[in-house]
Structure 1
């Protein structure tokens, strides 16, 4: 029986791959046989990740990129295409967290969150989309959030900027999926709940996470390492050939209530 989740021969680009979920996503794709391209601002961390991925028996290309800079994005995408000749899969993962009361949110804080989590996702998808349209094939996976769908009560922490950005990712996913559906490209999103990473370290270390997940999550816990991999590989593989414009929440039931 053919393994529909096999990614051998595919090239996958993962943004924000210097730490956290980006590293996990890159490794998960590599374990299914894909050759990997990773990018982030912190190029010194990328080199360590590159070695870890190559140890899995696939190729890995690392390139510096700042998703707040469209020239940097264009340069990175061209470098990946020049290196591999194509880009089959994009994991649009680069993002930043923020939790500031709306009335105290400074202009630069709002712009940083929207710029990274929404504008950057679009600009990377736009440039990679040009490559995929040319080749007639592509699988784009945007990383949204449970906050693409729900927010918090005032008893938890404020997420106005973050939720605005991630809500935009949800609708952007639908819009791009519709535009590119007849060009051989699927565009879907994953909506994680809280997973421990560099970005979420503060809320985990502060001890508030247990109380929040107990109150909001039917499973009563945060996500564990590897629990996003199934959704990722489904959207990256031909198993999802007739699935586009969707966001799959991997949240322990959080958005069900």
Structure 2
């Protein structure tokens, strides 16, 4: 029997792990999954922020838990995955969101900073996806992986934004998404990416102050930055059966900035 749209988007009984989920875009994605009915595990490095975020979700009627972990460290990634599986039994939805940026001219960019960005933004996505798929999704022949990339993956930056490592890492995330979707489609695992534009957050605070929120907003056809709701719809689509025939894809949520830029 054909399901209704509401039934297709319903995540009741599903479990989700969201990295970088204590604040900003990660918390918004966790809220979307929880509001659709999923039980959500939040992860980030700082226990205090995770506890506050978990309390916020619970106050909204969402089943939420948290585990502190650094997704740049392989041992902590495996511990996070194993503990999540121990508490939840399985993971239906994995949101790879934890990330870091670094600003420096390419000719002076520290190699250690390049490695820091790549370890978290690319290697961390791979290791956690591998572990969750191997120990949960493949055996259950079901999974949804959502990778948070960026419109920075689609090209260069305006003058003054010297984030070559970040741009490179997010470009890698897009091809990681495509390649993984091709390999794991046989297991009924979909792998898709979200490319946010500028959203006010702790990570973007410096850029917004340096370049001006109004100036950045004026570059978007919609004339504004992203808000606390703008990623929810796409996240719910990718995570639910409403998007079960979508894999290996990315979509920019940027108010149209990437269209103006030719992305």
Residue aligned with 1:96, SS: coil
Partner of 1:161: 165
Please, which runs of 5 or more residues in structure 2 have no aligned partner? Answer: none
Are the counterparts in 1 of residues 96 and 146 from structure 2 also a CA contact under 8 Å?
Answer: yes
Aligned positions of 1:1-257 closer than 5 A: 1=4, 3=6, 4-130=8-134, 131-153=136-158, 155-215=159-219, 217-256=220-259, 257=262
Count residues with an aligned counterpart: 255
**What's the TM-score, normalizing by structure 1?**
0.95
Question: What do the CA deviations read for 1:174-226 (whole angstroms, capped 9, x no partner)?
Answer: 010000001010000000001001111122233534324434x3333321221
Are the counterparts in 2 of residues 12 and 88 from structure 1 also a CA contact under 8 Å?
Answer: yes
Moved more, 140-149 or 17-26: 17-26
Residue aligned with 2:224, SS: coil
Question: What do the CA deviations read for 1:60-94 (whole angstroms, capped 9, x no partner)?
Answer: 12111111111111111111111111100011000
Question: What do the CA deviations read for 1:106-156 (whole angstroms, capped 9, x no partner)?
Answer: 111111111111111111111111121121110000000001112214x24
RMSD between aligned residues: 1.4
Residue aligned with 2:71, SS: coil
Distance 1:209 1:53 in 2: 28
Please, which runs of 5 or more residues in structure 1 have no aligned partner? Answer: none
Question: What do the CA deviations read for 1:13-62 (whole angstroms, capped 9, x no partner)?
Answer: 00011221111111111111110101111112111111111222232121
Are the counterparts in 2 of residues 61 and 80 from structure 1 also a CA contact under 8 Å?
Answer: no
